[in-house]
Amino acid sequence: MDYLVVALVILAVLLVAALGLVTLRRRPAPPPPPPAAERVEVTVVEPEVTVTPPETVVEAPPEVVEAPPPVLERPEPTAGRLVRLRARLARSQNLFSKGLLGLLSHDRLDDEAWEEVEDSLIGADVGVEATREIVARLRERTRILGTRSQAELRGLLAEELVAALDPTMDRSLRADPVGGRPAVLLVVGVNGSGKTTTCGKIARVLVADGHSVVLGAADTFRAAAADQLATWAERVGAEVVRGPEGADPAAVAYDAVRRGIEAGVDTVLVDTAGRLQNKVGLMDELGKVKRVVEKHGPVTETLLVLDATTGQNGLEQARVFTDVVNVTGVVLTKLDGTAKGGIVIAVQRKLGIPVKLVGLGEGPDDLAPFDPEQFVDALLGAPA
Ligand code: GDP
């Protein structure tokens, strides 16, 4: 009996132990803590979900709106511009008509009368030498012809002024291709003379006359010059070749001509740097620009831009330029801003180079081909 009890107790103990083991095995192990990196990932993802606005999801992708092509301007034809702009010469006109009135106000055409004419012409920057010659011829002709009426005197003075401007000079721009290569026009002059503006206006003149044009922004020292030129070019659909600020002007000029040849355009127009003319460096640089450009072929025209308001000083500047480059034509700017339109006569006479274009305002088409007869007609005002 005792054995039986002992056996039962042992059996019960084994049973309890076995049950305990089973229970222990079935309890799941606590999950290991997630690695730190996983936790970070979750915090990054969560805000993404909540921050994304619902409309971004449903919205159609934004439409790509292309900028409209620039509206090209149609420059005014060049013929008749000088006539249209004649009123801009009103200030000079006053001086010249004062000279004429001086003659008419005297009963006799005596020395005093002729001195008044001389003073008016010298005051209008015609230059002392040219004035003396003009007045001497006028005196002689009026004496021989017995001229006295206002219309006759005006006619004679006009003839003498036109003769002083030498109407036989060739004033055409050499802007047509030569031997299958574009014409190359260099535009030179001191800063402030209106060089870059004139380049832009010439580009318009050429486009108006049916030429295709590439512009070279070789004034790399004046920060705004290239932008200024690019704006002018954009308006007429011309291409601009430019370099970084401070780039070698000769390199830019060379590239511009190369581009013009590649593109097969009619004319390459190069704006050059124009720091003070008395700096040897600038003049050397200008000579270099010309030499480098001429590796492609000859420069067909070198235009010197002169500010008419600088009068005789402008002539000094001009000499420095003509010493370095072979200037073939003069552009006289700002004639609208001076009473000294006679400077045209002085410039031509001193330099022996034709004035080819005149600037008569800041507007894009305020540049006119120069014509001696129309110009003198504008200077003297309406005939009586
Ligand atoms: P640059 O330094 O020689 O290139 O000179 P810009 O081309 O920048 O011109 C200097 C200033 O002269 C500008 O304000 C132009 O608008 C002005 N200008 C140029 N040509 C004429 C002109 O024929 N008449 C007038 N009134 N102003 C002009």
How many angstroms does the Cα of residue 305 sit away from the middle of ligand 1?
A: 10
Half-sphere exposure of 7 (CA within 13 A, CB side): 4
Average pLDDT, the chain: 83
Query: CA-to-CA distance for 203 and 224, rounded, in angstroms?
Result: 18
Query: Which of the listed residues 362, 366, 367, 370 should we mutate to test ligand 1's pocket, taking the one with most ligand atoms within 8 A of CB?
Result: 362
The pLDDT confidence band at residue 345, using thresholds 50, 70 and 90, is very high
Which of the four pLDDT bands, split at 50, 70 and 90, describes residue 371?
very high
Q: Give the pLDDT confidence of 162-178 residue by residue, as tens digits.
A: 999 999 999 999 999 99
Check pocket membership of 309 for ligand 1, CB cut-off 6 A. no
Q: Which residue reads 């003379």 in tokens?
A: 193
Q: What is the pLDDT of residue 22?
A: 43
- Burial tier of 310 (Cβ tally within 10 Å: 0-12, 13-18, 19+): buried
pLDDT band at residue 146 using 50, 70 and 90 as cut-offs:
confident
Q: What pairs with residue 216 in β-bridges?
A: 241, 270
- Going by pLDDT thresholds of 50, 70 and 90, the confidence category of residue 305 is very high
Q: Give per-residue pLDDT as tens, 58-112.
A: 444 445 556 556 677 888 888 889 988 888 998 888 888 887 777 777 777 888 8
Helix (H, G, I), strand (E, B) or coil at 272: strand
Residue with CA at minimum distance from ligand 1 atom 22: 334
Closest CA to 355 of 367, 363, 365: 367
Q: What pairing do the DSSP bridges indicate for beta strands 367-369 and 355-359?
A: antiparallel
Contact in structure between 173 and 204 (CB atoms under 8 Å): no
Determine if ligand 1 sits within 6 Å of the CB of residue 317: no
Query: What's the half-sphere exposure (Cβ side, CA atoms, 13 Å) at 208?
Result: 19
Token pair 């299958």: residue: 180
- Ligand 1 in reach of 360 Cβ (< 6 A): yes
Supply the pTM of this predicted model: 0.80
Quick one: pLDDT at residue 54? 41
User: 186-232, pLDDT tens digit by residue?
Assistant: 999 988 999 999 999 999 999 988 999 999 999 988 879 999 999 99
Residue nearest atom 20 in ligand 1 by C-alpha distance = 194
